[in-house]
Amino acid sequence: MTGEMSPVDKAKYVAARRAADMVQDGMRVGLGTGSTAVWMVRRLGERVKDEGLQIKGVPTSSRTAQLAREVGIEVVSLDQAGWLDMAIDGADEFDGELNLIKGGGGAHLQEKIVATASDRMVVIADAGKEVETLGAFPLPVEVVPFGWQTTRTLIEEALDTMDVLGTSTALRMNGEAPFVTDEGNHILDLHLQRIGNARQLALVLNQVPGVVENGLFIDICDKVVIGYGDGRVEVRDINEGTIETDQPAESGENLFLDIVD
């Protein structure tokens, strides 16, 4: 697989590796959900095995919890951890102010709780996730199953008053049945195309009866680690106002040698 990775997968891998290497011994770490987060969890597992790294991981989904246990990370609940030193997670979109759309994997409720219970939220993403304005990726909204069609109607009415280009909504499906989150809820994906005022939209959506949480992460992310297909990594810190760039490994050092199927 070392030579078979696409540029996007390489970008995800180097971003995940860079963020995982920020974790220090003794930390309590929120473990995100999604394709990029998988690389991060695996890298942390390598560090636990090879370096004796001792951390407590708080997963944001049952999928992540299973993987973390498989790679040797001690898994605890958020209530057991109390407060986290860092949360590392992916994003479906991020803008220049590090506002995010998350929830493509259906775990944004737990992800938002974990992120806001952390001293720092670090987002890992390939460069293609950066956008000038949020909204091209469908915005996930978790809703309770009871009366979900009424909730959908109320959301659509609210969207008519918002600064968005599109107002269509769709119930997320898993084959022939509605997708069900870890909390037993459904997800409505809002196809908005462009979100003019993400902060306002997030507040309005969470006022709709039946809405549990939306996938807009506003003023939550502290740092984004961006991977590129050539192995470059850029780290942007919104609080410090800094940008660091790591160049690809020299030809004699292949970061991808430890990747296995």
Torsion of CA 61, 108, 145, 182, to 10 degrees: 0
pLDDT tens, residue order, the chain (261 aa): 445 889 999 999 999 999 999 999 999 999 999 999 999 999 999 999 999 999 999 999 999 999 999 999 999 999 999 999 999 999 999 999 999 999 999 999 999 999 999 999 999 999 999 999 999 999 999 999 999 999 999 999 999 999 999 999 999 999 999 999 999 999 999 999 999 999 999 999 999 999 999 999 999 999 999 999 999 999 999 999 999 999 886 433 455 545 544
Rounded to 10°, the helix 7-20/35-51 angle is 50
Total residue count of the chain as it appears in this document: 261
* Known binding positions for substrate: 33-36, 89-92, 102-105, 129
212 forms bridges with which residues in the sheet?
none
The two three-digit tokens of residue 48, written as one number: 């636990």
* Known binding positions: 33-36, 89-92, 102-105, 129
Walk me through the domains of the chain, giving residue ranges and CATH numbers.
Answer: 7-131+219-258 (3.40.50.1360), 139-212 (3.30.70.260)
Catalytic residue among 93, 111, 142, 213, which?
111
> Is 250 considered catalytic here?
no
Distance CA 259, CA 39 (A): 9
- What is the 3-class SS of 136-174, one letter each residue? CCCEEEEECCCCHHHHHHHHHHHHCCCCECCCEEEECEE
